[in-house]
Amino acid sequence: MAKNKTKKNNKNKEIKQTKKEEQKIKLDVKGSTDSESISKIIKYLIVVVIIFGGVYFLTDYITNHSSNSNYKKQVGEATIQNDKILAGSTFNKSDDEYYVLFYDVTGDSTYTDLYSSYKEKEEHLPIYYVDIKEGLNSKFIGEDINEEPTDISELKVNGPTLIKISNKEVEEFITNTDEIKEKLS
């Protein structure tokens, strides 16, 4: 029995020593873990600062480089384009008498050429044009035309049309290409 007690005591002492060693190791690991964590955080911060610094200097270099290059677009004086109007403003121009030419701007260049040559004349009435293919003008384009609209709600065209407005009323409504050419020549 005495041997059993001695064996138990020896086992208890070994277990206690093992536990003390484990606690020492844990303390050492905790100490090293804290310092390792701090050093990892510092390393990450350094890497982040380097990346942000690199991006900043790269961006600065690119923007300064491009501002001195020939890629920069030379900007001239701005001009306001008053000739192209929406169909809804056909009756709203400030002139007493003027023409409004309705046509597909991207289509046949005949009407663009007529418009330009008329604008170059010394003596001419003001002229505006409406692109009939533009979405905002679609409610004024239809199968049935109204050659005598009294206001904008009655306006309907279905192709190239020249309208002469005099004192906010329709004076002429021309849909024939030859007649349009004759008026604008």
In tens, the pLDDT along 117-149 reads 999 998 889 999 999 999 999 899 888 888 889
Give the pLDDT of residue 9. 58
pLDDT band at 33 (very low <50, low <70, confident <90, very high): low
* Token pair listed for 93: 């121009």
Q: What is the arithmetic mean of pLDDT over 139-167?
A: 90
What residues pair up with 165 in beta bridges, in sequence order?
98, 170
Give the pLDDT of residue 8. 56
Please give the single-letter amino acid code of residue 164: K
Better pLDDT: 13 or 111:
111
* Token pair listed for 42: 């510092």
User: Which segments within 70-137 are labelled E, that is strand?
Assistant: 97-103, 127-131
What residues pair up with 99 in beta bridges, in sequence order?
127, 164
Q: What is the arithmetic mean of pLDDT over 61-83?
A: 67
Please give the single-letter amino acid code of residue 63: T
Give the pLDDT of residue 146. 86
Please give the single-letter amino acid code of residue 165: I
The distance between the two most distant Cα atoms of the chain, rounded to a whole number of Å, is 135
**pLDDT tens-place string over residues 167-180:** 999 999 999 989 99
Better pLDDT: 172 or 12:
172
Strands across the sheet containing 169-174:
127-131, 97-103, 161-166, 169-174
129 and 158 in contact (C-beta within 8 Å)? no
Residue 103 has pLDDT above 60, yes or no: yes
Between 68-72, 93-97, 115-119, the lowest mean confidence (pLDDT) is in: 68-72
Distance CA 102, CA 125 (A): 16
The residue whose two tokens read 């536990």 is: 19
* Token pair listed for 44: 């990450």
pLDDT band at 81 (very low <50, low <70, confident <90, very high): confident
The domain spans of the chain are 1-76, 87-184
CA 8, 13, 19, 25 dihedral sign is negative
Give the pLDDT of residue 98. 94
Give the pLDDT of residue 14. 66
Distance CA 78, CA 91 (A): 27
CATH class of 87-184: alpha beta
